Every structure is written in C-alpha cells, then in structure tokens.
Amino acid sequence: MKHLIPAMLLFTVAAIAGPAVPIQALDETRLLPVVTHNLHPGQQPRLALNLPGMTPLFLIGDDPLSTEWLHQHRDALRTLHATGLVVNVATLARLNVLRAIAPALTLLPVSADDMAKHLPITAYPVLITDKGLEQ
C-alpha cells in the first residue's frame, strides 16, 4: 500500500518554505550595512587549527588593509575556492568595489560576531582553512 501525503500537508510545507529564490535574486541592500563589532582591521596572528572538512573562508572589510590584501591574495583564494565574507561594509556600492577587485570570488556581506566568539579571531583580513588562520 502506498503512503499518500495529504494535499493540505503539501500545501502547508510549500507555504512555509516558499519558492526557491536564487541568492543572486536577493536584494542585498536589505542586508546592509554590515557591522562586526568584535573584529577590526589589523594583524591576526597565525594559528594552527584542526578543522577537518572546513571549506576555506576569508574575512575582509571595506578598509584599505583589506582592499590591498584582496588584491595580493585573489589568485591564491581563487585556487582554494575560498568564499569571502565581507564583515564590515556600509553600502552596496562599496561591496561592489570589493567584488570588482576579485570578480572570480564570491563575496557575501555577513557579520562575523558569532564566528569571532567561537574562533580565536580578533582582526581581518584573515584566511580560515581546515589547517588554521593566516594572513
């Protein structure tokens, strides 16, 4: 005997989940400004970590140090398939300036306050891999 899901349940799940919306279709201006209170531009000590399965991430802001770091490291970041989190940026125009520096990379506006609570990060720019933190 086949198990049938009542039509009302399917309707409810669809209503809760909503239609799938591609990330590119989101209005990013609603996510801005992004402010991370627990991090600042500066020197981040290198630190060995053991994070098996960690996808490479990097944290940057809209500041001269981060901009220069992104210029210098964009090819290595692309090779790693690293995703960038822009942790301090005020406007979509400034976010797009960063994206223009490294068009092959994904840069997402996201506060990193929670991440800073769980990882020993105090400053950015920083690369986070399964092996540790480095600038």
pLDDT in tens, 8-28: 433 444 444 445 555 554 688
**Is pLDDT above 80 for 5?**
no
- Alpha-carbon separation of residue 131 from 11, 105, 127 (angstroms): 45, 21, 10
d(CA 75, CA 71): 9
Q: Name the domain count of the chain.
A: 1
pLDDT above 90 (res 94): yes
Q: Quote the pLDDT of residue 11.
A: 42
58 inside domain: yes
* Between residues 8 and 96, the one the model is more confident about: 96
Peptide bond into 125 cis (omega under 30): yes
> Cα separations (Å) of 110 from 10, 69, 113, 119?
33, 18, 9, 16
Backbone angles phi, psi at 124, to 5 degrees: -140, 160
Question: Tokens 């490291």 belong to which residue?
Answer: 73
Give yes or no for residue 29 having a pLDDT over 90. Answer: no
Give the integer Cα–Cα distance in Å for 99 and 70. 10
For residue 12, what pLDDT is reported? 41
Which domain covers residue 91, as residue numbers?
A: 37-134
Instruction: Let me know if residue 86 belongs to a domain.
Output: yes
Residue 27 covered by a domain? no
Residue 46 lies in a domain: yes
Is 21 within a domain?
Answer: no
What confidence score (pLDDT) does residue 10 get?
39
> Would 30 be classed as within a structural domain?
no
User: Which residue's structure tokens are 């400004």?
Assistant: 33
| Contact call for residues 125 and 58 (beta carbons, < 8 A) | yes
Residue type at position 70: L
